[in-house]
């Protein structure tokens, strides 16, 4: 009878242990090397590296936050993208934009990446009509 109790304890202990990578764990590292690059008066492209141990942490997406005017007030612009690049379009010309990215998995969200910022290109004003008056001498 004692051997049945030992087998039962071993069986319960085995079921309590995670099997390989089948259970996600909290993400311990943020994405790295976030780079914001202005490409026009209305677009900034972002790129970043996956966090260290992304596979072991079962990273399955990224949350991107934007700060318009670079004043420290971030809002989510993409709740879950799976790529490590993003083109932010429809922006205002000559405006500073700051960004940060967090990794996602089934357990939660990592701390944010480094913050990077860039200013969209300033679009020059359209030329005004010139009025030329000729004088006879």
21-59 residue pLDDT tens: 456 788 889 999 999 999 999 999 999 999 999 998 999
Give the pLDDT score at 126: 57
Q: What is the pLDDT of residues 53-105, one digit of tens each?
A: 999 899 999 999 999 999 999 999 999 999 999 999 999 999 999 999 999 99
Give the pLDDT score at 10: 42
Give the pLDDT score at 14: 44
**68, 44 contact by CB (below 8 A):** no
The Cα 118–Cα 37 span in angstroms is 6
Determine the average pLDDT of the residues in 98-122. 96
Give the pLDDT score at 134: 63
| Residue 18 binned pLDDT confidence (cut-offs 50, 70, 90) | very low
Name the residue among 112, 118, 136 with its Cα closest to residue 29: 112
Determine the average pLDDT of the residues in 121-134. 67
The Cα 64–Cα 90 span in angstroms is 16
Instruction: Say which range, 5-14, 63-72, 119-128, has the weakest mean pLDDT.
Output: 5-14
């Amino acid at each position: 009878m004692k051997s049945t109790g030992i087998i039962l304890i071993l069986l319960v202990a085995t079921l309590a242990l995670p099997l390989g990578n089948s259970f996600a764990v909290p993400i311990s590292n943020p994405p790295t090397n976030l780079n914001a690059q202005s490409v026009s008066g209305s677009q900034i492209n972002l790129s970043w590296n996956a966090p260290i141990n992304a596979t072991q942490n079962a990273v399955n997406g990224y949350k991107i936050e934007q700060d318009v005017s670079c004043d420290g007030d971030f809002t989510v612009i993409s709740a879950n993208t799976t790529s490590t690049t993003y083109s932010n379009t429809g922006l205002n010309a000559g405006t500073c934009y700051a960004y940060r990215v967090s990794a996602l998995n089934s357990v939660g969200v990592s701390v944010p990446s480094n913050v990077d910022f860039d200013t969209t290109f300033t679009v020059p004003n359209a030329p005004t009509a010139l009025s030329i008056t000729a004088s006879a001498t």
